[in-house]
Structure 1
């Protein structure tokens, strides 16, 4: 404890010394620090060693006291090291300061000697200048007078030599120098024209300048060798007081001939980028040069004399606007015609780059000629080109879609593929259309790129994105897909025309996929890429999805109708082409019934590749063993007494009709749901209904009735598996057998066991 107390005293003494060094207040704290009143705070001003030691004895163990001692020893050593370092640094700084002060003393002494020398020299110079001024004071006025006389003599010499100088400039064709020399002397000659000598010089100069003006007019009439020479001729003629209006007309006429030659050279270019580059580099650059030269010569030129009283700048500006508008109209017609010839939609970057350069260069005309309609007309051309490009891309998408459908039809017709490839064809068709849409959107997106100058125009930020890309391109293409798909239903004949039924099924699934996900994805992608903000009314996603679902429903309904009519046609021919009165006793199931089952199975596989299974009602345990003859089925045996004889067919028909009153009505052409069971149910309903109606138009013998029994039992053995409710098949086949019995001349049914043997053998 004594050691700790001793160490704390040393630490406190050193701490006080550091406070004095670093400028702390007497309490050892800076102004912004709060005072510590704790007597146990070893760094505080109110530290009491006795209190601190007592606290340590009370609260700390021997080990903690030893640790505290060790910590304080380390702090003392660290503080001692810091103090030594501080002493060394302060000693070095003190030595450096001493050297600096010694050096400054030497430098100031040398500087004082130099300042004394400079002061002496300045005094000597001032005295010498005063003596010179006093000596020349009497001759100053005489010198000034002689200098004025000398200047006048030089001017007179220039005037006397002016005619010869002008003739020399005329011989050397230094027209600018001649006009400049004459303008310098014109005022003096005019002022002293009453003196004969000056009048003679003036007359000679006028004659020479008239000749010079005539040569300039001839050179200007010939057009000069370049636009720069033409501008120099006009400038000199204006300085010679030629009529400004006449010079305006001549200047614009010569400029027009040059610019028309540039326009004629544009027609030879075939590449759109080269066409725009040449037009900008030659025609637009020349037009800007003409505008700048014209304004410098006639508009911004300070007017003097009589010209100052005339409104020459306003007149010149009006002529310039008319001149620029006329030539720009011809140039724009060439540009639009060349843009319309750009029919290829493969690479859109070339056209966008060309339009960007075209629009960028026209901004120079706006800066040179404020108020000109040329830049706005150029922007309208760019807008029309973008709209036309949208139409071309829409036509390209439509053509691609139709070509893809042609490829699908060819693939469906190929024997090596068959119906098993319908799912792959649908995936390929959907993916190819979606990729083509993405490619088109990427190409069109170049019109709104940040590095394109016209992309910041209001049209390309709003209307182009919403109505141009979204509505005119994407929405119109989706509507085209739905409408063209519906046309396969409208243009088909009784048997579907030339449209394969598999194509109807595939398009139905395509439209359904569009309704569920594809349309939303495409429109979301479009809105994200073009940052479409729907300020104006646009086609809603739900409306497009409804259109696609309607098309899918119509296609699927038509597919069911076509497939049902194909099977119905086989059944109708099989009924109409047979003599049912004189037919032989049945030994086998007719081949047409086997064909019906095979085609139905094939349709089931085909539809299953594209649509889900669907919901079926629970099947009874004897579904494949049901019978339908009004004489041999289990249901009919419960209806009639065993003593029933075929002599009372009307009673049978009456009981059948009574049964129908309490049966659920069968809708043959009801809407089809988007699943396999519903599709097959619709096809089988149409087929069996046709079979029933054909039976009602024929007359049957005994064996004809038995053959119908065999055929219906065979159909029942297989068709019940495809429909949603097996009772539907039972009901229709029951109707067929009942109608046959009603139309039979000798209704003697075949035994059920015999029917089952024939069908199982078949």
Structure 2
């Protein structure tokens, strides 16, 4: 199977760290095994050199990885602004490589090097009698565990910010108060899904799949056939009563909140699903905030309803947490209704017709190969 560029880069980094370290340790072992009189007398010093050398090496390596990611150790405001600009210029894929390299150093390289040092370079060191061993693997693991988490979060931030720019442009460009009746799903939906597809392809190169499978409900097909996946399709809504429509919308949403306790953000793991889940959730929260900054007429609100309803199907194919996705998408629609003077939703048959037309169009543009 052909390796991708990011996989090649990560593999090269792993080899350089572990194999390079083992080769160096082997060279020192050969020197000591030669039983030369001078080296025997200097054995304690050599032990200290090896231990101190590896401790310093990993400290310098962490600094170098920070530089490659566009980050630094400084906490000043001025340098922090400069650092932010540098981080934005760093390729997201490189940051993900650095995150995985840190995981490798913590979980594989450091334990393996520790075994070698303990077996051949642990006894008799001059320094250890006074100050303890110079090589402290626990500290190295802690440092690279922390660095890996920061790099992973940086990758998520960079990817999320890129999509947020797309979403912001979508919601700040049109005059939503004069929006025309929706005729089709807006193209920003396609761009959004393309970005998520690119992220999915990227994380698959470097991260393992999660241990848990997808938890799906049978109605997550992007259609409007299910009433549970959309709080707007309650038959008791009356198009002639704006206040009643808004009240029913909010009541349905609140009932959903009390019925299921949704934990939106959990700790991000080093898996494909976890990273993609986090990015999608952050993007939907951004979408919700952008919606709340606008004022919609009825048609504008209906356009949001259409776009969000269409997103349900594809997002549930990407994210394995259906309950949270439904909740966040519903939050967007509720937010739009609160910013609309006449929040009357599209009738289910019309909504379904527009979504099916979009699905048919997508199928024509991307025919499945036989």
Shared fold per TM-score greater than 0.5: yes
- Aligned residue among 466, 472, 482 for 2:62: 482
Q: Give the corresponding residue for 2:19.
A: 435
Q: Is the alpha carbon distance of 1:532 and 1:430 closer, same or farther for their aligned partners in structure 2, counting shifts above 3 Å?
A: farther
Q: Give the corresponding residue for 2:98.
A: 507
Provide the C-alpha distance between the structure 1 equivalents of 2:85 and 2:301, rounded to a whole number of angstroms: 30
Q: Give the corresponding residue for 1:160.
A: none
Q: Deviations over 1:384-408 (max 9, x none)?
A: xxxxxxxxxxxxxxxxxxxxxxxxx
- Aligned residue among 305, 316, 319 for 1:720: 316
Query: Alpha-carbon deviation of 1:687?
Result: 0.5
Provide the C-alpha distance between the structure 2 equivalents of 1:604 and 1:666, rounded to a whole number of angstroms: 23
Tell whether the 8 Å contact from 1:629 to 1:709 is kept in structure 2 after alignment: no
Query: Alpha-carbon deviation of 1:714?
Result: 2.8
1:426 and 2:15 aligned? no
Query: Alpha-carbon deviation of 1:454?
Result: 2.3
Q: Is the alpha carbon distance of 1:619 and 1:587 closer, same or farther for their aligned partners in structure 2, counting shifts above 3 Å?
A: same
Q: Give the corresponding residue for 1:676.
A: 272
Q: Give the corresponding residue for 1:591.
A: 187
Query: Alpha-carbon deviation of 1:731?
Result: 0.9
Q: Give the corresponding residue for 1:464.
A: 46
Query: Alpha-carbon deviation of 1:647?
Result: 1.6
Query: Alpha-carbon deviation of 1:461?
Result: 1.7
**Secondary structure of 2:216 counterpart:** coil
Tell whether the 8 Å contact from 2:223 to 2:352 is kept in structure 1 after alignment: no
- For 1:46-61, list aligned pairs within 5 A: none
Q: Deviations over 1:203-251 (max 9, x none)?
A: xxxxxxxxxxxxxxxxxxxxxxxxxxxxxxxxxxxxxxxxxxxxxxxxx
Q: Deviations over 1:555-601 (max 9, x none)?
A: 11221122112111211121112211223333333222211111111
**Secondary structure of 2:147 counterpart:** helix
Provide the C-alpha distance between the structure 2 equivalents of 1:483 and 1:731, rounded to a whole number of angstroms: 41
Q: Is the alpha carbon distance of 1:736 and 1:494 closer, same or farther for their aligned partners in structure 2, counting shifts above 3 Å?
A: farther
- For 1:300-339, list aligned pairs within 5 A: none
1:567 and 2:144 aligned? no
Q: Give the corresponding residue for 2:216.
A: 619
Provide the C-alpha distance between the structure 1 equivalents of 2:229 and 2:269, rounded to a whole number of angstroms: 33
Q: Deviations over 1:670-703 (max 9, x none)?
A: 4311111110010001111000000001011222
Greater helix share, structure number:
1
- Number of equivalences: 338
Tell whether the 8 Å contact from 1:708 to 1:737 is kept in structure 2 after alignment: yes
Q: Give the corresponding residue for 1:555.
A: 151
**Secondary structure of 2:58 counterpart:** helix
- For 1:102-141, list aligned pairs within 5 A: none
Provide the C-alpha distance between the structure 1 equivalents of 2:107 and 2:214, rounded to a whole number of angstroms: 27
Q: Is the alpha carbon distance of 1:517 and 1:429 closer, same or farther for their aligned partners in structure 2, counting shifts above 3 Å?
A: same
- For 1:47-446, list aligned pairs within 5 A: 420-442=4-26, 444=28
Q: Give the corresponding residue for 1:744.
A: 340
Q: Is the alpha carbon distance of 1:753 and 1:746 closer, same or farther for their aligned partners in structure 2, counting shifts above 3 Å?
A: same
Query: Alpha-carbon deviation of 1:604?
Result: 1.0
1:756 and 2:355 aligned? yes
Tell whether the 8 Å contact from 1:565 to 1:686 is kept in structure 2 after alignment: no
- Aligned residue among 607, 632, 647 for 2:242: 647
Provide the C-alpha distance between the structure 2 equivalents of 1:633 and 1:671, rounded to a whole number of angstroms: 26
Q: Is the alpha carbon distance of 1:650 and 1:704 closer, same or farther for their aligned partners in structure 2, counting shifts above 3 Å?
A: closer
* Bigger relative contact order (CA 8 A; separation at least 6): 2
- Aligned residue among 116, 122, 141 for 1:525: 116
- Aligned residue among 299, 304, 313 for 1:708: 304
**Secondary structure of 2:294 counterpart:** coil
Q: Deviations over 1:480-512 (max 9, x none)?
A: 333443563745527942211111111111111
Q: Is the alpha carbon distance of 1:645 and 1:480 closer, same or farther for their aligned partners in structure 2, counting shifts above 3 Å?
A: farther
Q: Give the corresponding residue for 1:543.
A: 139
Provide the C-alpha distance between the structure 2 equivalents of 1:654 and 1:726, rounded to a whole number of angstroms: 20
Query: Alpha-carbon deviation of 1:646?
Result: 4.4
**Secondary structure of 1:721 counterpart:** helix
Query: Alpha-carbon deviation of 1:627?
Result: 4.8
**Secondary structure of 2:342 counterpart:** coil
Tell whether the 8 Å contact from 2:222 to 2:314 is kept in structure 1 after alignment: no
**What TM-score, normalized to structure 2?**
0.80
CA-atom RMSD in angstroms: 3.1
**What TM-score, normalized to structure 1?**
0.41
Provide the C-alpha distance between the structure 1 equivalents of 2:105 and 2:316, rounded to a whole number of angstroms: 33
Tell whether the 8 Å contact from 1:616 to 1:724 is kept in structure 2 after alignment: yes
Unaligned segments of structure 2, at least 5 residues: 73-82, 363-370
**Secondary structure of 2:318 counterpart:** coil
Query: Alpha-carbon deviation of 1:727?
Result: 1.4
Q: Deviations over 1:297-344 (max 9, x none)?
A: xxxxxxxxxxxxxxxxxxxxxxxxxxxxxxxxxxxxxxxxxxxxxxxx
- Aligned residue among 655, 658, 664 for 2:254: 658
Q: Is the alpha carbon distance of 1:741 and 1:607 closer, same or farther for their aligned partners in structure 2, counting shifts above 3 Å?
A: same
Query: Alpha-carbon deviation of 1:444?
Result: 4.9
- For 1:445-460, list aligned pairs within 5 A: 448=32, 450=34, 452-457=36-41, 460=42
Provide the C-alpha distance between the structure 2 equivalents of 1:634 and 1:704, rounded to a whole number of angstroms: 18
Tell whether the 8 Å contact from 2:284 to 2:329 is kept in structure 1 after alignment: yes
Provide the C-alpha distance between the structure 2 equivalents of 1:547 and 1:730, rounded to a whole number of angstroms: 38
Query: Alpha-carbon deviation of 1:437?
Result: 2.6
Q: Give the corresponding residue for 1:473.
A: 53
User: Considering only CA atoms, is the larger Rg found in Structure 1 or Structure 2?
Assistant: 1
